[in-house]
Structure 1
Amino acid sequence: MKQVKKVSQRTRAITGGALVAALALGGFGAYAASAAPAQAQAQAQAPAAQADAKTDAKNKNLTESTHLTIDAATKAAQTALDAAKKENQRVTVAVVDRNGNTIVTLRGDGAGPQSYDAAQRKAYTAVSWNAPTSVLAGRLAQTPTLKDIPGTLFLGGGAPVTAKNAPVAGIGVAGAPSGDLDEKFAQAGVAALNK
């Protein structure tokens, strides 16, 4: 039978501490070794990303477009709604982006239920042709099938918003007794963006 030597508490504490320190240093070394290639890779990719951005800027297959911010669209819509309210008209105002997607719609107190859809369609029509809808309504005599295009409405009340001579949004107003009034309010919204 072998006899096992008793190890003192002090020896066990020193040995255990040394083992923990060795493991910690080994783990840190492994982390440092894996972090170094990752840092080198990130540094190598930074110039490549800058080169890609420059290439994209020169790429003739890409284009940039300008869009209204939600704040600008809301300002235009609120201005149009306020202009209508001053004349005791109950209208809905819609602002759409260049692609015809609605950015904001404000339905004034007492505006008719049909005005919501009509305002969006007028805004879409104005931005699609980059012209006030009252002008486009006059074109129906020569091209009556224009009115068959889905989502359009060829009645006065829509006005385009342009930047650098290109349409970036449309403002549509519906609910007043005439398209002329609707368009007057839409134009007030456009004017608010030019201040």
Structure 2
Amino acid sequence: MKKISMRTRVLTGGLTLAALGAGAFGAVSANAATPAAPAAAPAAVAKADAAAGNTTQSTHLTIEAATEAAQAALDAAEKENQRVSVAVVDRNGNTIVTLRGDGAGPQSYESAEKKAYTAVSWNAPTSELVKRLENAPNLKDIPGTLFLGGGAPVQVKGAPIAGIGVAGAPSGDLDQKFAQAGVATLD
């Protein structure tokens, strides 16, 4: 086998790098020089503004207010030696904040979110919604809902803007009491 000299290896490596660099530069240059496709002519432009009457505004809790409410609910539970989880969701059911208290059961986290979602969806405390199941038992089959006491809506001018859910206490009445403590901090 023939030995390749150091000089030959350096020259071969240098030429290879130069070729690769030139190819990459050419590809970048070619892409940069390619003209953009012509923009499609705009269709009728819709005027979306409040004056036209085709938009709406909504009120939302800030992260600070949601956290304050969740902490108040958790504090109320801890004062009574209850181990719970608390969730606050926005008007659309998206979770804003959750707090899992020390020693809260593993099921409490998800249950708190579902109670909060249920409360904001129906703009009613979940302890009241449980009563509706007598006349409409299929309500409990709606995905993401949980018809047990412990969910409370947060309202502005009667409209729901958020929901607070508490889960983990031994009764829905206690969970409901703690959720209401969270709502009370927002008044």
TM range (shorter): 0.7 to 0.9
CA distance in 2, matches of 1:176, 1:84: 8
Corresponding residue to 2:152 among 159, 162, 165: 159
Equivalent pairs counted in the alignment come to 141
- Could you say what secondary structure the match of 1:193 adopts? coil
- Could you say what secondary structure the match of 2:164 adopts? strand
CA distance in 2, matches of 1:59, 1:141: 44
Aligned residue type for 1:168: I
- Could you say what secondary structure the match of 1:141 adopts? coil
Matched, 1:117 2:114: no
Q: C-alpha offsets along residues 124-144 of structure 1, whole Å, 9 cap, x if unaligned?
A: 000000000010001001000
Matched, 1:106 2:122: no
Aligned positions of 1:23-38 closer than 5 A:
none
Counterpart in the other structure of 1:145: 138
Matched, 1:185 2:178: yes
Counterpart in the other structure of 2:64: 71
Aligned residue type for 1:187: Q
> How far is 1:80 from its partner?
0.2
CA distance in 2, matches of 1:180, 1:162: 21
CA distance in 1, matches of 2:73, 2:119: 15
Q: C-alpha offsets along residues 115-170 of structure 1, whole Å, 9 cap, x if unaligned?
A: 00000000000000000001000100100000000000000000000012100000
- Could you say what secondary structure the match of 1:159 adopts? strand
Q: Percent identity?
A: 79
Moved over 6 A (4+): none
Aligned residue type for 1:163: V
Corresponding residue to 2:166 among 161, 173, 195: 173
Matched, 1:134 2:124: no
Structure number with larger C-alpha Rg: 1
CA distance in 2, matches of 1:161, 1:179: 18
> How far is 1:59 from its partner?
2.3
- Could you say what secondary structure the match of 2:160 adopts? strand
CA distance in 2, matches of 1:120, 1:75: 17
Aligned residue type for 1:175: G
CA distance in 1, matches of 2:146, 2:52: 37
Aligned residue type for 2:74: L
CA distance in 2, matches of 1:175, 1:60: 45
Q: C-alpha offsets along residues 59-83 of structure 1, whole Å, 9 cap, x if unaligned?
A: 2111111100000000000000000
Aligned residue type for 2:125: P
> How far is 1:57 from its partner?
2.3
- TM-score calculated relative to the size of structure 1: 0.71
